[in-house]
Amino acid sequence: MNAMPPGFDWNQMRAFLATIEAGSLSAAARALGLTQPTLSRQIAALEDDLGLLLFERVGRRLALTETGRRLAGYVQAMGAAADRIAITASSQSQALEGRVRITAVDILAAHVLPAILEKLYAVAPGIEVEIIASNSIDDLMRREADIAIRHVRPEHDDLIARRCRDTEVGLYAAKSFLDRFGRPAQPGDLAQAPFIGFAPDDSVDQELNKRGIPVTRTNFRWLCISSLVGLELIRRGLGFGLQISSQTLNASCPIWSPCRHRYG
């Protein structure tokens, strides 16, 4: 069985995989600790060995050809298998230990990470985890954290991004507030309602407008940069506010009461 082409070179495949994931030669070279000319030569050598054109330039970026896209799935599977081999070998030869700094927005750090870290501790008790509750997207660039969980995709070429599961956001209010204000039956009922925002310059009002809720900045009587603080303001019955759904948080918040219609 001749499974590999003559002269198969995993380094070339690794260069191809890194370029797919990073989106550019410069970012892929940095990820692999190579110079860009070296990485370019490896990609060119792979194309020569296979007799295929894998990339074409579109402006300043590289785009996979149709052939490259077909090959990409197989190479990604090879990369995943190589990672599993490395992890298995590492677990057999040495303990998984050391400090890992994880940064996440405060509400995820408080309600989502603990359950995940509990499972991690059962598998690798030697790992020391430092949790940094922060809304900043620059933690990784300043080397303040090893892993950042954010709601936006980073634009820095130096960072490797993976998409986590989607989170659901809903518009919530406390039962006590709804008893006073009334329960809205349609978006227009919220035109005069007090809202809780995240920061003076956020775009929550614009997002709500897109969904048919006619609010302006004057509706936002309370502003904060912390989701946990915002949650407490909602619980205190000070107004409507956007929060990650209780299903996503996997935490019961019995005084939350969604509006009759789920907006957002």
Model confidence pLDDT, tens digit, residues 120-139: 888 888 888 898 887 666 55
Segments in the chain below pLDDT 70: 1-8, 59-60, 84, 86-95, 135-143, 154-159, 200-202, 245-264
The pair of three-digit structure tokens given for residue 149, joined into one six-digit string: 């969980």
Distance CA 251, CA 236 (A): 18
Q: Which amino acid is at 11?
A: N
Q: How far apart are CA 136 and CA 172, in angstroms?
A: 25
pLDDT at 194: 94
Overall pTM > 0.95 = no
Rounded Cα–Cα distance for residues 176 and 28 (Å) = 54
The predicted pLDDT at position 191 comes to: 92
CB 20 within 8 A of CB 55: no
Task: Give me the pLDDT at residue 2, please.
Answer: 43
Structure tokens at 228: 């946990």
Whole-angstrom distance, CA of residue 83 vs CA of residue 16: 16
Residue from 104, 121, 122 nearest 113 by CA? 104
Nearest to 235 by CA among 176, 169, 194, 181: 176
pLDDT, position 237? 93
Q: How far apart are the first and last CA of the chain?
A: 55
Q: In whole angstroms, give the CA distance from residue 101 to residue 29.
A: 25
Distance CA 168, CA 108 (A): 13
pLDDT of residue 94: 56
Determine whether 130 is exposed, middle or buried from the number of CB atoms within 10 Å of its CB (0-12, 13-18, 19+): exposed
Q: Quick check: 198 and 204 in contact, CB under 8 A?
A: yes
**pLDDT score of 120:** 86
| Adjacency order of strands within the sheet including 195-197 | 220-223, 195-197, 240-244, 169-174, 256-258
**The pLDDT value given to residue 190:** 92
Q: For residues 248 and 167, is the Cβ–Cβ distance under 8 A?
A: yes
